[in-house]
Amino acid sequence: MATPTQHSSLSASGAGKWLNNPPSLWMEEGLPNPSSPYAEEGTDAHRLVELKLKLATKQITKRQYTIQVNKLKAKSEYYGQAMEDYAQQHVDLVLEDLADMPDGELYSETRVDFGKWAPGGYGTADTILVNDDTLSIWDYKYGKGVRVRADHNVQLMLYALGAVDKLGLLYDFSTVKMTINQPRIDNLASFTMSLDDLLAWGKDVVMPAADKALNGEGPWDYSNPSSTAFYRAMGFDRHLAEKNLEIRKYKFREANTLTDDEIADILDQAPLIKRWLTAVEDYATDQVLNYGKTIPGYKVVEGRSNRVITDKDKAESILEAAGIKDIFRPQELKTLSALERLLGKKEFNTLLGELVEKPQGKPTMVPEEDHRQPFEKQSAQDDFDEYIDETDKGEN
């Protein structure tokens, strides 16, 4: 079996890519993997769950818990009552599972190494429950964009292999249960398999795929949706382009209208094609702005943007002091346009003009004939990097 390189990462979170489409590992080599607000929010949510579980199982004291939660509150932009409520709901479910496991032990945010099956492979399991009957893996998904399935979830199965390697000599379990809780979209799902079946999957599926991935070999296969989830090379992968452009076959049909089966086939392909087109546009924009390339027939311009109030708390204070009523929607300040209609442009500018700004629009790829001027390269790089950070979907 091959030895992993410094840059190649057989991660659990990226397993959908390298297991289903082994060569994609090398396509991503050296590409940055920027963080995002979604990933940062997920990290904070996981930290809160970890602290609550450690408190509930007496791994930390109440004082230690309070100190750590206060630190989280101070640094987090995302902490709030909703995060508290979802975390507590998840903790209650985990503790209920633990209560059903006699002499069960809980391990929280634990690094697991599945290198026996995928050289260099490791990950961090959110919660592991274990006794002499069952190994139970819990994964807390705070995101609300994509519904994640538990059935044969390869990320959880790799965590389970790592847990077997870490704990298999200490406990005599024969059943492996994996649960995903995605509370913000009410997704709670479990999948159970035998330890023997898990080990067979590790030997028959993971080991060969890992070997192919580390050697840049194997078929280019995008049939599984997870093959392109968070795929950083999507914008310039020729094999993926060829797959998506297979849809061109329909223009060569002699019939003037598509059949129902052909329409269904096109609709099945639509989600991936839409994501691919966005990735190609983002890649092309990055190449123009950051590497001075020219895309024939296209240019990058400043996209449209909306005005924003820079300090909502200060705006609320100013409006309340001026005796302006009806400035709130059910939970927050009215939109800027609604406030302007309520106050009139003159009074709006007098009261809030200094707090309103129109941010620079994100760089946008358009045809050359577009009337807008090309984006200034000096300022574009930081702007585009910021845009990518804001739009990248994290995996938590």
- pLDDT (tens place) for every residue of the chain, 396 residues total: 333 333 348 889 889 888 988 888 888 887 877 667 788 899 999 999 999 999 999 999 999 999 999 999 999 989 999 999 999 999 999 999 999 999 999 999 999 999 999 999 999 999 999 999 999 999 999 988 778 899 999 999 999 999 999 999 999 999 999 999 999 999 999 999 999 999 999 999 999 999 998 988 888 888 777 777 777 787 888 888 888 787 766 665 555 677 888 788 888 888 888 888 888 888 888 888 888 888 888 888 887 767 777 777 777 778 778 777 666 555 555 566 777 777 788 887 888 777 777 666 778 888 888 887 888 754 444 444 544 444 444 444
Amino acid letter, residue 249: K
Q: Are 214 and 10 in contact (CB under 8 A)?
A: yes
Amino acid occupying residue 312 = K
Are 13 and 123 within 8 A, CB to CB? Answer: yes
Q: Which residue has the tokens 């979604």?
A: 38
Token pair for residue 136? 């139970």
- Domain ranges, ordered by start, for the chain: 15-214, 308-357
Instruction: Find the helix or strand (DSSP H, E) in which 195 lies.
Output: helix 195-201
Measured over all CA atoms, what is the biggest interatomic distance in the chain, rounded to whole angstroms? 75
**Spatial CA neighbour of 138 closest among 95, 199, 172:** 95
Residue 107: other Cβ atoms inside 10 A: 18
